Structure 1
Amino acid sequence: MKAVRLEAVGSISLREIAKPVPGPDDLLVRIEACGVCGTDRHLFHGEFPCRPPVTPGHEFSGIVEEVGTAVSGFAVGDRVTGDPNIACGRCGQCHAGRVNLCSNLTAIGIHRDGGFADYVVMPRKQAFVLPADLKPTHGAFCEPLGCCLHGVDLAEVRPGSSVVVLGGGVIGLLTVQLARLAGATTIILSTRQASRRALARELGATASVDPTATDVIDAITSPAGLMPGGADVVFECAGVCETVEQSMRLARAGGTVVIVGVTPQGMKAEFEPFDLLFRELKVVGSFLNPYTHRRAAELIAAGVIEIDRLISRQVTLEEAPRVIANPPAPGEVKVLVVPAMG
């Protein structure tokens, strides 16, 4: 079969490798779609730990082609989405219910072969059935939506909340939709791309800010701004130093900042501890998708999350290495790798 292989930091190419064989508790899944994530680019640049050589791709869905001898509840032909984050179930973090912080966490597409391939093998406990009539491309959004759900859970967005979302990529635009569903009445998105700002307003943002044309802090928090005094909740979804630093200044006194975006490992950001103390800010990290993948799949299956307008383009496996090795195109939200196109 064909698979995109990250051989080492800075080295990625399409290879012909053996088709994987499922173990007793596994499913063999023919990939229908796999999303290119910012984390995949971090892997390529050595900014996120992984175990090359490996096939990346952790946002995938497909059709069950073979079930292991000990598997029940799944049948050949089922459309499934895969939660890539495999917790050990034995360590202290797992016993405390914090499976995303598992001491022995193994991630499909990072530590073991993932979805930028014709096929992937995954444990049955990581698989969730999707409706047979769901668009094949939609299942690939369950993993990023699950990560956003965890962030919104941590933020405790309530009806009437005011929210700022920093970053207009797929994570920011999914977070806008979830904040709207949670009852936030004011949602502001800040991003450089005009097309993303327009899309955010169509998806539920009440306003948007261009950080290249105005001072974001002043535009939002000043007495004449969009949210005088700041927001109840700020979601940092861009994963860059500038927005991480902005996030704490955009929250109101007593507000919450949730760091959802993946920053390059080793990046530093400045903040003023006195400000966190004096305004009693709650700053939390949101890592992965603990117990949210099924909810994400159900939301997508129910059609309450707009997916199609988040898909910028679909590419073949042959094109995938070039996409991963290069920055996103201007205005691009999500690129899907679709093996059947090749």
Structure 2
Amino acid sequence: MKALRLKGIGQLRVAEVPKPLPGPDDLLVRVEACGICGTDRHLLHGEFPSTPPVTLGHEFCGIVEAVGSRVSDIAIGARITGDPNIACGTCPQCTAGRINLCRNLRAIGIHRDGGFAEYVVMPRKQAHDIPLSLAPVHGAFCEPLACCLHGVDMAGIRAGSSVVVLGGGVIGLLVVQLVRLAGATTVILSTRQAAKRRLAEEVGATATVDPSSTDIIEQIAGDTGLVPGGVDVVIECAGVAETVMQSTRLARSGGTVVILGVMPKGETVEIEPFDILFRELRVLGSFINPFVHRRAADLVASGAIEIDKLISRRVTLGEAANVIAHPPAAGEVKVLVIPGRP
């Protein structure tokens, strides 16, 4: 079968590999769709830890084609979405219920072969069934939505909250929708790209701002800004130093900042600890998707999340390497790999 393999830093290409066989507790899944994530770009450039050679792709859904000898609770022909993050279940973090912080965490598409392939093998416990009537490309959104859902849960948004979302990529646009569902009545998205600002307003933002046009702090939290004094919650979704540094300055005193975007490992930013102390800000990191993938899958299946507007294009396995090797095109939100596409 064909698979998109990360051979080493900067080395990504399609290769012929043996079709995998499921172990006793595994599923063999024919991949229908797999999303390209910013993390895939970090992996290619050595900015996120992985174990090459490995097949990338961690946002996938597909059809169960075979099951292991100890699997009896899922039918061949079922459609599933894969939670890629495999916790050991026995380390101190796992036994404390913090499975996303597992000391032995391994992820499909990062540490073991993933969904940029015609087939993927995964543990049964990582699979969540979704309706056969659901478009496969929608199923590929369950994993990024789950990561967003964990961040929104951590933010503690309540009815009437005001929220700023920094970054207009797929994570920011999913977060906009989730915070509205959580009860936020003021939702401001900041991005330089006009197309993404328009899209944010279509999917639920009450206002958008262009950080390149004027000082974003004054524009949002200044005396004559959109929310004088700052917002209840800031969710950083861009994963760049500029927006991370902006995040604490946009929150009101006593507010919450959630860092959801992924900066390259080793990069640092300047912050003012006195400001965090004096205004008693809660600054939180949100990492992957503990115990929320099922909820995300149900949300996708319900139609409560706008997905079609977030799909920029569909590509083949052969085209995917070039997409990952370059920054997203202007206005591009989510590119999906369709392994069975000729």
Q: TM-score, normalised by structure 1?
A: 1.00
The offset of 1:80, in angstroms, is 0.2
1:199-239 CA-to-partner distances (Å, cap 9, x unmatched) read 10011100000111111111000111011100100000000
Structure 2: give runs of 5+ residues left out of the alignment: none
1:200 aligns with 2:207: no
**Structure-2 separation of matches of 1:298 and 1:26:** 23
2:278 is the counterpart of 1:284 = no
Deviation of 1:339 (Å): 1.1
**2:339 corresponds to:** 339
Per-residue deviation at 1:98?
0.2
> Which residue number corresponds to residue 320 of structure 2?
320
2:258 counterpart of 1:258? yes
Structure 1 window deviating more from structure 2 (206-215 vs 78-87): it is 206-215
For the pair 1:145 / 2:145, whether they are aligned, the reply is yes
In 1, Cα distance between equivalents of 2:215 and 2:65: 53
Residue by residue over 1:221-276, the C-alpha shift from the partner in whole angstroms, topping out at 9 and shown as x without a partner, is 01110111001000000000000000010000000000000100011101101000
Is 1:214 aligned to 2:206, yes or no?
Answer: no
1:83 alignment partner AA: D
Q: Distance in 1 between matches of 2:315 and 2:2?
A: 14
Could you list the per-position Cα deviations for residues 37-81 of structure 1 after superposition, in whole angstroms to 9, with x for gaps in the alignment?
A: 000000000000000000010000000010111002111110000
Structure 1 residue 160 displacement after superposition: 0.2
Aligned-partner SS, 1:318: helix
User: How far apart, in 2, do the equivalents of 1:47 and 1:75 lie?
Assistant: 39
3-state SS of the aligned residue for 2:188?
Answer: strand
Indicate the residue corresponding to 2:53 in structure 1. 53
SS where residue 341 of structure 1 aligns?
coil
SS in 2 for 1:184: coil
Secondary structure of residue in 2 paired with 1:309: helix
Amino acid at match of 1:106: R
Report the counterpart of residue 101 of structure 1 in structure 2: 101
What is aligned with 1:188? 188
For residues 43 and 274 of structure 2, the distance between their equivalents in structure 1, rounded to whole angstroms, comes to 35
After TM superposition, list the pairs within 5 Å mapping 1:3-42 onto structure 2. Answer: 3-42=3-42
User: Equivalences for 1:110-259 in 2 at 5 Å?
Assistant: 110-259=110-259
> CA offsets per residue over residues 277-333 of structure 1, 9 Å max, x none?
000000000000000000000000000000100000000001011111111111100
The aligned counterpart of 1:293 is 293
Q: Which amino acid aligns with 2:315?
A: V
- The equivalent residue for 2:269 is 269
3-state SS of paired residue (1:34): strand
Q: C-alpha separation between the residues in 2 aligned to 1:293 and 1:192?
A: 31
Matches within 5 A, 1:76-91: 76-91=76-91
| Count of residues in Structure 1 that have an aligned counterpart in Structure 2 | 342
Whole-angstrom distance in 2 between the partners of 1:199 and 1:233: 21
Find the residue that maps to 2:12 and give its secondary structure: strand
Q: Quick one: distance in 2 between partners of 1:231 and 1:196?
A: 21
Name structure 1 gaps, 5 residues minimum.
Answer: none
1:329 counterpart = 2:329: yes
Give, as a single letter, the amino acid of the residue that structure 2 aligns with 1:13: R
Opposite residue 251 of structure 2, the aligned amino acid is: A
Measured in 2, the distance between the counterparts of 1:305 and 1:72 equals: 32
Distance 2:73 2:215 in 1: 54
Once residues 110 and 174 of structure 2 are traced to their aligned partners in structure 1, the CA distance between those partners, rounded to angstroms, is 23
Q: Give, as a single letter, the amino acid of the residue that structure 1 aligns with 2:180.
A: R
RMSD of aligned Cα (Å): 0.5
Query: Using the alignment, how far apart are the partners of 2:116 and 2:321 within structure 1?
Result: 9
Distance in 2 (alpha carbons) for counterparts of 1:323 and 1:72: 39
Deviation at 1:92, TM superposition (A): 0.3
**Structure 1 residues 97-143: Cα deviation after superposition (integer angstroms, max 9, x where no partner):** 00000000000000000000000000000000000100011010000
Under a length normalisation based on structure 2, what TM-score does the superposition of the two structures give?
Answer: 1.00
1:191 maps to a residue whose letter is T
In the alignment, the residues of structure 1 paired with residue 64 and residue 329 of structure 2 have an alpha-carbon distance, to the nearest angstrom, of 33
Q: State how far apart, in whole Å, the 2-side matches of 1:335 and 1:90 are.
A: 36
Identity %, equivalent residues: 71
Q: What residue identity is the alignment partner of 1:160?
A: G
* Alignment partners' CA distance in 1, 2:269 and 2:72: 48
